[in-house]
Amino acid sequence: MSNNQCGDVGMVALAEALSRCTELGNLKFSNNRVGATGFAAVAEALPRWPKLEWLFVSSNPGPADAFVLALIKALEAGVA
């Protein structure tokens, strides 16, 4: 999913589409112009991905505070 410049709109759509994918193990959306809105959508979906082991998000203008807080919570719960 990297390097396609999907932006926030694309990331929101992707997070929604993957929200029921409980087997998701890796997600990479580096270099996609994803900002606060896109990161917030990923943050909302994080608890639904209990098998997520790798999350690559470099070279985006985000993340949103909501994403960082959700990631911390997921790590503490052993989800991510």
> Would you place residue 80 in the very low, low, confident or very high pLDDT band (cuts 50, 70, 90)?
low
Q: What is the spatial distance between Cα 19 and Cα 4, in angstroms, rounded to a whole number?
A: 20
Give the three-class secondary structure for 62.
coil
CB neighbours of residue 26 within 10 Å: 12
Displacement of CA 79 from its chain's centroid (Å): 13
The string of pLDDT tens digits covering residues 14-71 is 999 998 999 999 999 999 999 989 988 998 898 899 899 898 998 999 887 777 887 8
Q: What is the spatial distance between Cα 75 and Cα 9, in angstroms, rounded to a whole number?
A: 26
Q: Minimal CA–CA distance to 39: which of 14, 22, 21, 20?
A: 14
